[in-house]
Protein backbone atom coordinates (compact mmCIF):
# COMPACT_ATOMS: atom_id res chain seq x y z
CA UNK A 1 0.00 0.00 0.00
CA UNK A 2 2.99 2.31 0.24
CA UNK A 3 2.95 5.12 -2.28
CA UNK A 4 6.10 5.69 -4.34
CA UNK A 5 7.00 8.85 -2.41
CA UNK A 6 7.21 7.01 0.90
CA UNK A 7 10.60 6.10 2.27
CA UNK A 8 11.39 2.57 3.38
CA UNK A 9 11.12 3.42 7.06
CA UNK A 10 7.74 5.12 6.63
CA UNK A 11 5.34 2.44 7.82
CA UNK A 12 2.25 4.61 7.39
CA UNK A 13 1.03 2.66 4.37
CA UNK A 14 0.90 -0.52 6.40
CA UNK A 15 -2.19 -2.51 7.18
CA UNK A 16 -2.92 -3.54 10.74
CA UNK A 17 -5.45 -6.14 11.84
CA UNK A 18 -6.38 -6.93 15.44
CA UNK A 19 -8.64 -9.97 15.50
CA UNK A 20 -10.24 -12.62 17.69
CA UNK A 21 -10.99 -9.92 20.27
CA UNK A 22 -13.24 -11.24 23.06
CA UNK A 23 -14.43 -7.76 24.02
CA UNK A 24 -13.77 -4.82 21.70
CA UNK A 25 -14.63 -1.46 23.26
CA UNK A 26 -15.38 0.77 20.28
CA UNK A 27 -16.49 3.94 22.08
CA UNK A 28 -19.42 5.58 23.80
CA UNK A 29 -22.64 3.71 23.21
CA UNK A 30 -25.34 5.49 21.31
CA UNK A 31 -28.29 3.73 22.96
CA UNK A 32 -27.72 5.42 26.34
CA UNK A 33 -28.19 2.11 28.20
CA UNK A 34 -24.54 1.37 28.96
CA UNK A 35 -21.75 3.96 28.69
CA UNK A 36 -19.77 1.85 26.21
CA UNK A 37 -20.46 0.10 22.94
CA UNK A 38 -18.80 -3.31 23.11
CA UNK A 39 -18.50 -5.91 20.35
CA UNK A 40 -17.79 -9.57 21.07
CA UNK A 41 -15.71 -11.89 18.84
CA UNK A 42 -14.66 -8.78 17.01
CA UNK A 43 -11.80 -7.29 15.02
CA UNK A 44 -10.67 -4.02 13.52
CA UNK A 45 -8.44 -3.20 10.59
CA UNK A 46 -6.47 -0.03 9.92
CA UNK A 47 -4.67 1.36 6.88
CA UNK A 48 -2.34 4.35 7.07
CA UNK A 49 -2.87 4.37 10.84
CA UNK A 50 -6.58 4.98 10.45
CA UNK A 51 -9.33 2.48 11.23
CA UNK A 52 -11.07 1.28 8.07
CA UNK A 53 -13.16 -1.64 9.33
CA UNK A 54 -14.70 -2.68 12.66
CA UNK A 55 -16.96 -5.67 13.08
CA UNK A 56 -17.08 -9.39 13.63
CA UNK A 57 -13.72 -11.08 13.54
CA UNK A 58 -14.93 -13.26 10.68
CA UNK A 59 -16.02 -10.35 8.47
CA UNK A 60 -13.03 -8.13 9.12
CA UNK A 61 -10.43 -10.88 8.61
CA UNK A 62 -12.15 -11.96 5.38
CA UNK A 63 -11.69 -8.45 4.00
CA UNK A 64 -8.28 -7.88 5.63
CA UNK A 65 -6.54 -11.26 6.02
CA UNK A 66 -4.07 -11.15 8.93
CA UNK A 67 -1.48 -13.02 6.84
CA UNK A 68 -1.34 -10.08 4.41
CA UNK A 69 -1.09 -7.40 7.10
CA UNK A 70 2.18 -5.82 8.20
CA UNK A 71 0.88 -5.83 11.77
CA UNK A 72 -1.44 -8.64 12.86
CA UNK A 73 -2.42 -9.28 16.46
CA UNK A 74 -4.33 -12.35 17.52
CA UNK A 75 -6.00 -11.11 20.71
CA UNK A 76 -6.94 -14.70 21.50
CA UNK A 77 -10.24 -13.79 23.13
CA UNK A 78 -8.86 -10.98 25.27
CA UNK A 79 -10.20 -7.42 25.53
CA UNK A 80 -9.05 -4.50 23.37
CA UNK A 81 -9.85 -0.88 24.25
CA UNK A 82 -9.03 2.54 22.78
CA UNK A 83 -5.64 3.99 23.77
CA UNK A 84 -5.95 6.19 26.85
CA UNK A 85 -5.94 9.95 26.59
CA UNK A 86 -4.43 11.76 29.58
CA UNK A 87 -5.81 15.32 29.32
CA UNK A 88 -4.00 17.00 32.25
CA UNK A 89 -0.31 16.64 33.12
CA UNK A 90 2.62 18.81 34.16
CA UNK A 91 5.13 16.28 32.84
CA UNK A 92 8.08 18.55 31.95
CA UNK A 93 9.97 19.17 35.15
CA UNK A 94 13.23 18.61 36.98
CA UNK A 95 14.19 18.05 40.61
CA UNK A 96 12.74 15.94 43.39
CA UNK A 97 10.03 16.81 45.92
CA UNK A 98 9.72 13.51 47.77
CA UNK A 99 10.69 15.25 51.00
CA UNK A 100 7.61 17.48 50.63
CA UNK A 101 5.54 14.31 50.37
CA UNK A 102 6.89 13.30 53.76
CA UNK A 103 6.12 16.76 55.19
CA UNK A 104 2.55 16.46 53.88
CA UNK A 105 2.23 13.05 55.52
CA UNK A 106 3.15 14.78 58.78
CA UNK A 107 0.27 17.21 58.24
CA UNK A 108 1.79 20.13 56.33
CA UNK A 109 -0.58 21.71 53.80
CA UNK A 110 0.14 21.92 50.07
CA UNK A 111 -0.54 25.67 50.05
CA UNK A 112 1.61 26.23 53.14
CA UNK A 113 4.56 24.65 51.30
CA UNK A 114 3.89 26.88 48.26
CA UNK A 115 3.62 30.02 50.43
CA UNK A 116 7.07 29.20 51.86
CA UNK A 117 8.61 29.07 48.38
CA UNK A 118 8.44 25.28 48.04
CA UNK A 119 6.07 23.23 45.87
CA UNK A 120 5.62 24.70 42.39
CA UNK A 121 8.18 27.44 43.15
CA UNK A 122 10.80 24.88 44.05
CA UNK A 123 10.23 23.03 40.79
CA UNK A 124 10.48 26.40 39.00
CA UNK A 125 14.01 26.86 40.40
CA UNK A 126 14.99 23.34 39.31
CA UNK A 127 13.52 23.80 35.81
CA UNK A 128 15.22 27.17 35.29
CA UNK A 129 18.54 25.49 36.11
CA UNK A 130 17.95 22.39 33.97
CA UNK A 131 19.35 22.19 30.44
CA UNK A 132 17.10 21.73 27.40
CA UNK A 133 18.43 18.19 27.11
CA UNK A 134 17.60 17.38 30.71
CA UNK A 135 14.03 18.65 30.33
CA UNK A 136 13.61 16.61 27.15
CA UNK A 137 15.11 13.45 28.68
CA UNK A 138 12.99 13.74 31.83
CA UNK A 139 9.83 14.21 29.77
CA UNK A 140 10.49 11.33 27.37
CA UNK A 141 11.34 9.02 30.28
CA UNK A 142 7.93 9.72 31.81
CA UNK A 143 6.19 9.30 28.46
CA UNK A 144 7.74 5.86 28.09
CA UNK A 145 6.14 4.82 31.38
CA UNK A 146 2.80 6.31 30.31
CA UNK A 147 2.92 4.42 27.03
CA UNK A 148 3.61 1.14 28.83
CA UNK A 149 0.39 1.78 30.79
CA UNK A 150 -1.63 2.29 27.62
CA UNK A 151 -1.63 6.07 27.20
CA UNK A 152 -1.38 7.15 23.56
CA UNK A 153 -2.27 10.88 23.77
CA UNK A 154 -1.13 13.25 26.54
CA UNK A 155 -1.67 16.91 27.31
CA UNK A 156 1.41 18.55 28.85
CA UNK A 157 1.52 22.00 30.44
CA UNK A 158 4.34 24.47 30.85
CA UNK A 159 4.22 26.52 34.05
CA UNK A 160 7.53 25.78 35.77
CA UNK A 161 9.35 28.67 34.09
CA UNK A 162 7.21 31.65 35.05
CA UNK A 163 9.22 33.79 32.65
CA UNK A 164 9.29 33.82 28.88
CA UNK A 165 12.53 31.98 28.19
CA UNK A 166 11.92 29.00 30.46
CA UNK A 167 8.22 28.73 29.56
CA UNK A 168 9.31 28.53 25.91
CA UNK A 169 12.03 25.98 26.75
CA UNK A 170 9.38 23.75 28.36
CA UNK A 171 7.06 24.09 25.37
CA UNK A 172 9.94 23.34 23.00
CA UNK A 173 10.75 20.17 24.97
CA UNK A 174 7.09 19.13 24.50
CA UNK A 175 7.26 19.91 20.78
CA UNK A 176 10.47 17.94 20.37
CA UNK A 177 9.10 14.96 22.32
CA UNK A 178 5.95 15.04 20.19
CA UNK A 179 8.08 14.64 17.09
CA UNK A 180 10.38 11.92 18.42
CA UNK A 181 8.33 9.38 20.40
CA UNK A 182 5.02 7.60 19.74
CA UNK A 183 2.62 9.42 22.09
CA UNK A 184 0.76 12.39 20.57
CA UNK A 185 1.32 15.44 22.75
CA UNK A 186 -0.96 18.45 23.15
CA UNK A 187 0.75 21.52 24.62
CA UNK A 188 -0.77 23.97 27.07
CA UNK A 189 0.84 27.26 28.08
CA UNK A 190 0.51 27.81 31.83
CA UNK A 191 2.61 30.84 32.67
CA UNK A 192 -0.12 31.60 35.22
CA UNK A 193 0.69 28.51 37.32
CA UNK A 194 2.06 30.43 40.32
CA UNK A 195 3.29 33.91 41.18
CA UNK A 196 7.11 34.02 41.14
CA UNK A 197 8.76 34.83 44.45
CA UNK A 198 8.98 38.55 45.27
CA UNK A 199 6.60 39.51 42.45
CA UNK A 200 3.38 41.43 42.81
CA UNK A 201 0.57 39.31 41.37
CA UNK A 202 -0.90 42.00 39.08
CA UNK A 203 2.58 42.86 37.82
CA UNK A 204 3.14 39.22 37.07
CA UNK A 205 -0.20 38.95 35.24
CA UNK A 206 1.01 41.90 33.10
CA UNK A 207 4.14 39.87 32.33
CA UNK A 208 2.12 36.80 31.33
CA UNK A 209 -0.23 38.85 29.14
CA UNK A 210 2.24 41.28 27.60
CA UNK A 211 5.46 39.23 27.36
CA UNK A 212 4.92 35.50 27.69
CA UNK A 213 1.70 34.99 25.73
CA UNK A 214 2.79 36.93 22.63
CA UNK A 215 6.09 34.99 22.54
CA UNK A 216 4.31 31.64 22.93
CA UNK A 217 1.77 32.53 20.24
CA UNK A 218 4.53 33.68 17.92
CA UNK A 219 6.34 30.35 18.27
CA UNK A 220 3.07 28.45 17.72
CA UNK A 221 4.00 25.95 20.41
CA UNK A 222 0.76 25.78 22.43
CA UNK A 223 -2.88 25.07 21.75
CA UNK A 224 -4.39 25.83 25.16
CA UNK A 225 -3.88 28.42 27.90
CA UNK A 226 -4.45 27.35 31.50
CA UNK A 227 -4.47 29.23 34.82
CA UNK A 228 -4.37 28.19 38.50
CA UNK A 229 -7.49 30.04 39.69
CA UNK A 230 -7.08 29.55 43.42
CA UNK A 231 -7.04 31.45 46.68
CA UNK A 232 -3.55 32.91 47.16
CA UNK A 233 -2.62 32.34 43.51
CA UNK A 234 -4.73 34.01 40.76
CA UNK A 235 -8.21 35.31 41.57
CA UNK A 236 -11.09 35.17 39.10
CA UNK A 237 -10.40 38.60 37.56
CA UNK A 238 -6.70 37.90 37.12
CA UNK A 239 -7.48 34.47 35.68
CA UNK A 240 -9.99 36.03 33.27
CA UNK A 241 -7.38 38.52 32.09
CA UNK A 242 -4.91 35.74 31.29
CA UNK A 243 -7.45 33.53 29.54
CA UNK A 244 -8.97 36.37 27.50
CA UNK A 245 -5.49 37.40 26.37
CA UNK A 246 -4.88 33.74 25.47
CA UNK A 247 -8.07 33.75 23.40
CA UNK A 248 -6.86 36.88 21.60
CA UNK A 249 -3.78 34.86 20.63
CA UNK A 250 -5.83 31.87 19.50
CA UNK A 251 -5.28 29.72 22.61
CA UNK A 252 -8.32 27.88 23.98
CA UNK A 253 -8.89 28.31 27.74
CA UNK A 254 -8.62 25.66 30.42
CA UNK A 255 -8.95 26.35 34.15
CA UNK A 256 -7.58 24.77 37.33
CA UNK A 257 -10.80 25.39 39.24
CA UNK A 258 -12.15 24.89 42.78
CA UNK A 259 -9.23 22.70 43.91
CA UNK A 260 -8.67 23.85 47.48
CA UNK A 261 -11.50 26.36 47.89
CA UNK A 262 -14.50 27.36 45.79
CA UNK A 263 -13.33 30.60 44.22
CA UNK A 264 -15.31 30.83 40.96
CA UNK A 265 -12.99 29.19 38.43
CA UNK A 266 -15.76 26.88 37.23
CA UNK A 267 -18.05 29.84 36.56
CA UNK A 268 -15.22 31.54 34.68
CA UNK A 269 -14.62 28.39 32.62
CA UNK A 270 -18.33 28.29 31.75
CA UNK A 271 -18.40 31.97 30.90
CA UNK A 272 -15.42 31.66 28.54
CA UNK A 273 -16.64 28.31 27.17
CA UNK A 274 -13.32 26.77 28.13
CA UNK A 275 -12.39 23.35 26.78
CA UNK A 276 -12.29 22.02 30.33
CA UNK A 277 -12.45 22.89 34.00
CA UNK A 278 -10.11 20.70 36.01
CA UNK A 279 -9.90 19.46 39.65
CA UNK A 280 -13.36 20.70 40.83
CA UNK A 281 -13.04 19.14 44.30
CA UNK A 282 -15.09 22.00 45.75
CA UNK A 283 -17.47 22.59 42.86
CA UNK A 284 -21.13 22.86 43.91
CA UNK A 285 -24.41 22.12 42.11
CA UNK A 286 -24.45 25.55 40.43
CA UNK A 287 -20.99 24.89 39.03
CA UNK A 288 -22.08 21.51 37.71
CA UNK A 289 -25.06 23.10 35.93
CA UNK A 290 -23.01 25.99 34.55
CA UNK A 291 -20.33 23.68 33.14
CA UNK A 292 -22.86 21.32 31.57
CA UNK A 293 -24.80 24.18 30.03
CA UNK A 294 -21.65 25.73 28.56
CA UNK A 295 -20.37 22.37 27.23
CA UNK A 296 -17.19 22.52 29.34
CA UNK A 297 -15.66 19.09 30.01
CA UNK A 298 -15.09 18.43 33.73
CA UNK A 299 -11.64 16.84 34.11
CA UNK A 300 -11.38 15.05 37.46
CA UNK A 301 -7.98 14.21 38.95
CA UNK A 302 -8.41 11.55 41.62
CA UNK A 303 -4.65 10.99 41.94
CA UNK A 304 -4.25 14.49 43.35
CA UNK A 305 -6.92 13.95 46.00
CA UNK A 306 -5.40 10.54 46.77
CA UNK A 307 -1.88 11.92 47.17
CA UNK A 308 -2.98 14.87 49.27
CA UNK A 309 -5.48 12.88 51.35
CA UNK A 310 -8.28 15.27 50.26
CA UNK A 311 -11.93 14.52 49.52
CA UNK A 312 -12.57 13.50 45.93
CA UNK A 313 -14.53 15.45 43.34
CA UNK A 314 -18.21 14.51 43.08
CA UNK A 315 -18.09 12.52 39.85
CA UNK A 316 -21.65 11.27 40.28
CA UNK A 317 -23.08 14.80 40.37
CA UNK A 318 -21.46 15.51 37.01
CA UNK A 319 -22.51 12.17 35.53
CA UNK A 320 -26.11 12.62 36.65
CA UNK A 321 -26.16 16.05 35.07
CA UNK A 322 -25.11 14.43 31.77
CA UNK A 323 -21.56 15.84 31.70
CA UNK A 324 -18.90 14.00 29.67
CA UNK A 325 -16.72 13.41 32.74
CA UNK A 326 -13.03 12.97 31.92
CA UNK A 327 -10.24 11.61 34.12
CA UNK A 328 -6.54 12.52 34.06
CA UNK A 329 -3.41 11.73 36.04
CA UNK A 330 -2.38 15.35 36.82
CA UNK A 331 1.14 13.90 36.76
CA UNK A 332 3.44 16.46 38.44
CA UNK A 333 5.99 16.47 41.29
CA UNK A 334 3.10 16.70 43.77
CA UNK A 335 1.19 13.80 42.19
CA UNK A 336 3.62 11.18 40.98
CA UNK A 337 1.25 9.05 38.94
CA UNK A 338 1.71 8.32 35.26
CA UNK A 339 -0.84 5.53 34.99
CA UNK A 340 -4.32 6.05 33.56
CA UNK A 341 -4.99 2.52 34.77
CA UNK A 342 -4.54 3.58 38.40
CA UNK A 343 -6.69 6.65 37.73
CA UNK A 344 -9.50 4.32 36.58
CA UNK A 345 -9.11 2.28 39.78
CA UNK A 346 -9.41 5.48 41.85
CA UNK A 347 -12.39 6.61 39.77
CA UNK A 348 -14.14 3.35 40.56
CA UNK A 349 -13.09 2.76 44.16
CA UNK A 350 -13.00 6.34 45.45
CA UNK A 351 -15.46 8.21 43.23
CA UNK A 352 -18.11 5.55 42.67
CA UNK A 353 -17.71 5.41 38.91
CA UNK A 354 -18.42 2.13 37.15
CA UNK A 355 -15.43 0.61 35.33
CA UNK A 356 -17.21 1.50 32.07
CA UNK A 357 -17.68 5.14 33.12
CA UNK A 358 -14.03 5.30 34.19
CA UNK A 359 -12.87 3.87 30.84
CA UNK A 360 -15.05 6.27 28.84
CA UNK A 361 -13.66 9.10 30.99
CA UNK A 362 -10.12 7.96 30.13
CA UNK A 363 -10.70 7.71 26.38
CA UNK A 364 -13.42 9.54 24.40
CA UNK A 365 -14.33 12.08 27.09
CA UNK A 366 -10.66 12.82 27.75
CA UNK A 367 -10.23 13.46 24.01
CA UNK A 368 -13.16 15.91 24.18
CA UNK A 369 -11.31 17.82 26.92
CA UNK A 370 -8.57 18.36 24.32
CA UNK A 371 -10.98 19.30 21.55
CA UNK A 372 -9.99 16.18 19.58
CA UNK A 373 -12.86 15.51 17.18
CA UNK A 374 -11.10 13.01 14.90
CA UNK A 375 -12.37 9.93 16.71
CA UNK A 376 -9.43 9.80 19.15
CA UNK A 377 -10.49 7.78 22.17
CA UNK A 378 -12.71 5.47 20.09
CA UNK A 379 -12.10 2.49 17.83
CA UNK A 380 -14.58 3.43 15.14
CA UNK A 381 -14.05 3.78 11.40
CA UNK A 382 -12.05 6.91 10.65
CA UNK A 383 -10.45 7.07 14.11
CA UNK A 384 -6.70 6.77 14.64
CA UNK A 385 -5.76 3.14 15.31
CA UNK A 386 -4.61 3.81 18.89
CA UNK A 387 -5.48 0.74 20.93
CA UNK A 388 -4.56 -1.26 24.00
CA UNK A 389 -4.60 -5.06 24.02
CA UNK A 390 -5.23 -6.22 27.57
CA UNK A 391 -3.90 -9.37 29.15
CA UNK A 392 -7.44 -9.86 30.46
CA UNK A 393 -10.79 -10.97 29.07
CA UNK A 394 -12.65 -7.81 30.06
CA UNK A 395 -12.07 -4.03 30.17
CA UNK A 396 -13.22 -4.16 33.80
CA UNK A 397 -9.73 -5.40 34.68
CA UNK A 398 -8.44 -1.86 34.09
CA UNK A 399 -10.24 -0.56 37.19
CA UNK A 400 -10.17 -3.88 38.99
CA UNK A 401 -6.41 -4.43 39.01
CA UNK A 402 -4.22 -2.11 41.00
CA UNK A 403 -0.99 -4.03 41.36
CA UNK A 404 0.95 -3.71 38.12
CA UNK A 405 -0.67 -3.43 34.71
CA UNK A 406 -3.39 -5.10 32.67
CA UNK A 407 -1.79 -3.86 29.43
CA UNK A 408 -0.24 -6.43 27.13
CA UNK A 409 0.42 -4.42 23.95
CA UNK A 410 -0.09 -0.84 22.81
CA UNK A 411 -0.77 0.25 19.24
CA UNK A 412 -0.26 3.82 18.03
CA UNK A 413 -1.54 4.60 14.54
CA UNK A 414 -1.66 0.89 13.78
CA UNK A 415 1.87 0.08 14.89
CA UNK A 416 2.93 -1.83 17.99
CA UNK A 417 4.80 0.67 20.17
CA UNK A 418 4.85 -1.04 23.57
O1 LIG B 1 -2.73 20.56 39.03
N2 LIG B 1 -2.59 22.81 41.36
C3 LIG B 1 -1.75 23.30 40.59
N4 LIG B 1 -0.94 22.66 39.75
C5 LIG B 1 -0.65 21.27 39.84
C6 LIG B 1 0.38 20.96 40.88
C7 LIG B 1 1.73 21.36 40.42
C8 LIG B 1 2.80 21.14 41.44
O9 LIG B 1 2.53 21.01 42.65
O10 LIG B 1 3.95 21.13 41.00
C11 LIG B 1 -1.92 20.46 39.95
O12 LIG B 1 -2.12 19.69 40.90
FE1 LIG C 1 -2.65 20.65 37.20
Query: Is 79 a residue whose pLDDT tops 90?
Result: yes
If one compares 101 and 11, the residue with the highest pLDDT of the two is 101
pLDDT of the residue at 32: 75
Q: What percent of the chain has pLDDT over 90?
A: 96
Burial (CB < 10 A; 0-12, 13-18, 19+), residue 31, is exposed
Please name which ligand lies nearest the alpha carbon of 101: 1
Span 15-82+378-416: which CATH code?
A: 2.30.40.10
pLDDT at 11: 42
Give 357's pLDDT tier (boundaries 50, 70, 90).
Answer: very high
The stretch 271-276 carries a mean pLDDT of 98
Residue nearest to atom 11 of ligand 1 (CA): 330
Q: Which of 367, 397, 391 is nearest to 379 (CA)?
A: 367
pTM of the model: 0.96
From 335, 337, 369, mutation site for ligand 1 pocket: most ligand atoms within 8 A of C-beta: 335
pLDDT of 374 over the 80 cut? yes
The answer to whether residue 1 scores a pLDDT higher than 60 is: no
pLDDT for the residue numbered 328? 99
| Closest ligand to residue 118's CA | 1
Cβ count near 111 (within 10 Å) = 16
Q: For the domain bounded by 85-368, which CATH number is listed?
A: 3.20.20.140
Mutate to test the pocket of ligand 1, among 109, 330, 337 (most ligand atoms within 8 A of CB): 330
Distance 304 CA to ligand 2 centre (A): 9
Q: Which protein residue's CA is at the shortest distance from atom 3 of ligand 1?
A: 228
- Intervals of CATH 2.30.40.10 along the chain: 15-82+378-416
Q: What's the pLDDT score for residue 33? A: 80
- Ligand 1, CB cutoff 6 Å, lining residues: 90, 119-120, 123, 228, 256, 259, 304, 330, 332-335
Long-range contacts: 130-139, Cβ < 8 Å, 24+?
Answer: 130/94, 130/95, 132/169, 132/172, 132/173, 134/94, 135/92, 135/93, 135/94, 135/169, 135/170, 135/173, 136/173, 136/176, 136/177, 138/92, 138/93, 138/94, 139/91, 139/92, 139/173, 139/174, 139/177
Could you give the residue range(s) of every CATH 3.20.20.140 domain in the chain? 85-368
How does DSSP classify residue 95? S
C-alpha 298 – ligand 2 centre gap (Å): 13
Residues near 386 by beta carbon (within 8 Å), at least 6 away in sequence: 82, 83, 152, 153, 376, 411, 412, 413
188-207 mean pLDDT: 97
Task: Please give the span between the terminal C-alpha atoms of the chain, in angstroms, as a whole number.
Answer: 24
Amino acid sequence: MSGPAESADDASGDTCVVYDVGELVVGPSEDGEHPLEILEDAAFAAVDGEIVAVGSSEDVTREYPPENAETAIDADGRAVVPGFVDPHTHAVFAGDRSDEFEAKLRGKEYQEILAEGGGILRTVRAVREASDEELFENLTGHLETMLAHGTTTVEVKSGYGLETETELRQLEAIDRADATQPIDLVATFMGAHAVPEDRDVDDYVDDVVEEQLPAVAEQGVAEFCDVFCEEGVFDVDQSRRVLEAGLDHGLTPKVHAEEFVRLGGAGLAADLEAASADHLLHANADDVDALVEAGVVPVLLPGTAFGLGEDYADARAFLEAGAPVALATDFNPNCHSRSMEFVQTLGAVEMGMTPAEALLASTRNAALALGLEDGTGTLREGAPADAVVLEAPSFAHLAYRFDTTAVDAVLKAGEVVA
